[in-house]
């Protein structure tokens, strides 16, 4: 099981009416309880709560500063953005921010990025929200600028949407953070993944959907001359509800506001049975959100009872 890894997809906003300060405390206490089974923590990138099930004035944590804060306090954990919305920051600034996160964390940062999707949030913060094809083109240019700034001194780039000229990013990140592309768009996103990504992540997705996306990714890799096996395969399972009996787990999932109909719930044996087929597809990294947060019983039960069944 040395090639199997688990990460906690931490919530970026509370669903229990907690204040911002109390929510930060809840996150910190959960990180203290992760133990050796969970080696990474993943933070999404929103300035509003993305769910309509809480008021918009609910406290929401910004991605980069949250990673910097908690990485300093939890030196045994790797932290990743899942995923930065490329539209929310100038690409060169984003490259600098990511390089600084790698410096401050001592090399424990994974750079996850995607094209962005939450239109309401764009308009609220006065970001342009072009059509999907434009956002995807901007995503690819952003990744190319990030790679240039991380490896060239000075760096210049002239694209259709973004440019830099004689730009410096010092110190260079060491080691270079893995680049994770999030999303499953078959024509463009997975082609960008084949060309540029070290990791790929699908945010949720049933087993047959995930398998199909892998087939598409493999075709793109063949077309661009990329070794498909070089790319780390990961999946975010957006809601795990695990309990000693199935009915308790079912009720736990049903009562969780994060449940969008894709919860995986059951006994430890049932959870392992649902997850094991992903291993057969080549998944090595699971990003997991637990239904009982801010309690940590689900995390404990998963580590003690589910993980040994996946070995």
Closest residue by Cα to residue 110 from 143, 67, 76, 55: 67
Is residue 29 within 8 Å of residue 294, measured between CB atoms?
A: yes
Statement: residue 1 has pLDDT above 70: no
Percent of the chain with pLDDT over 70: 99
Mean pLDDT of 232-252: 97
Task: Identify the pLDDT of residue 260.
Answer: 85
Q: Which two tokens stand for residue 18?
A: 């907690």
In this structure, are strands 199-203 and 179-182 parallel, antiparallel, or unpaired? parallel
Statement: residue 179 has pLDDT above 60: yes
- Using 50, 70 and 90 to split pLDDT, how confident is the model at 237? very high
Mean pLDDT of 53-77: 98
Residue with tokens 């589910």: 306
Is residue 102 within 8 Å of residue 173, measured between CB atoms?
A: yes
Spell out the residues 6+ positions from residue 246 whose beta carbon is closer than 8 angstroms to its own.
265, 266, 267, 270
Task: Identify the pLDDT of residue 235.
Answer: 98
Task: Identify the pLDDT of residue 87.
Answer: 96
pLDDT, tens digit (0-9, with 9 covering 90-100), for 37-58: 999 999 999 999 998 899 999 9
Mean pLDDT of 159-183: 99
- Using 50, 70 and 90 to split pLDDT, how confident is the model at 2? low
Among the residues of 152-285, which ranges form H helices?
189-196, 207-224, 246-255, 268-281
- DSSP, collapsed to helix, strand or coil, labels residue 1 as coil
Helix axes 91-104 and 132-151, enclosed angle (nearest 10): 50
Of 27-31, 48-52, 176-180, the poorest mean pLDDT is in 48-52
What's the whole-number average pLDDT of the chain? 97
pLDDT, tens digit (0-9, with 9 covering 90-100), for 98-115: 999 999 999 999 999 999
The neighbouring-strand residues paired with 266 are: 242
This prediction has a pTM of 0.97
Is residue 81 within 8 Å of residue 65, measured between CB atoms?
A: no
Task: Identify the pLDDT of residue 261.
Answer: 86
Task: Identify the pLDDT of residue 205.
Answer: 79
Of 65-74, 103-112, 252-261, the poorest mean pLDDT is in 252-261
**CB hemisphere CA count around 60 (13 angstroms):** 16
Spell out the residues 6+ positions from residue 261 whose beta carbon is closer than 8 angstroms to its own.
none
As a residue count, the chain comes to 311
List the Cα angle 145/96/232 in 5-degree steps.
65
Residue with tokens 């962005």: 116
List phi, psi (to 5°) of 91. -60, -40
- Report all structural domains of the chain as residue ranges with CATH numbers, in order of start: 5-310 (3.20.20.30)
Closest residue by Cα to residue 205 from 188, 222, 226, 182: 182
Percent of the chain with pLDDT over 90: 95
């Amino acid at each position: 099981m040395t090639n199997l890894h688990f990460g906690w997809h931490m919530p970026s906003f509370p669903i229990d009416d907690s204040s911002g300060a109390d929510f930060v405390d809840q996150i910190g206490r959960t990180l203290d309880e992760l133990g050796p089974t969970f080696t990474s923590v993943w933070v999404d990138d929103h300035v509003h709560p993305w769910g309509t099930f809480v008021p918009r004035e609910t406290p929401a944590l910004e991605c980069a500063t949250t990673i910097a804060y908690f990485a300093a306090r939890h030196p045994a954990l790797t932290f990743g953005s899942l995923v930065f919305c490329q539209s929310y920051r100038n690409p060169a600034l984003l490259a600098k921010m990511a390089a600084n996160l790698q410096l401050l964390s001592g090399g424990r940062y994974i750079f996850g990025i995607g094209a962005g999707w939450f239109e309401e949030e764009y308009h609220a913060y006065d970001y342009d929200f072009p059509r999907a094809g434009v956002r995807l083109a901007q995503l690819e240019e952003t990744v190319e600028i990030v790679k240039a700034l991380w490896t060239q001194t000075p760096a210049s780039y002239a694209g259709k949407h973004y440019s830099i000229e004689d730009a410096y990013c010092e110190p260079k990140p060491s080691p270079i953070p893995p680049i994770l592309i999030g999303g499953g768009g078959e024509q463009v996103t997975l082609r960008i993944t084949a060309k540029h990504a070290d990791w790929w992540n699908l945010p949720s997705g049933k087993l047959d959907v995930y398998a199909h996306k892998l087939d598409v990714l493999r075709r793109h890799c063949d077309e661009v001359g990329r070794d498909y096996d070089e790319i780390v395969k990961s999946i975010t399972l957006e809601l795990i509800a695990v309990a000693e009996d199935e009915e308790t787990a079912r009720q736990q999932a049903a009562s969780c506001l994060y449940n969008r109909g894709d919860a995986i719930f059951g006994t430890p044996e049932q959870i392992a049975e649902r997850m094991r087929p992903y291993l057969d597809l080549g998944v090595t990294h699971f990003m997991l959100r637990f239904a009982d947060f801010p309690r940590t019983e689900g995390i404990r039960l998963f580590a003690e009872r589910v993980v040994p069944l996946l070995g």
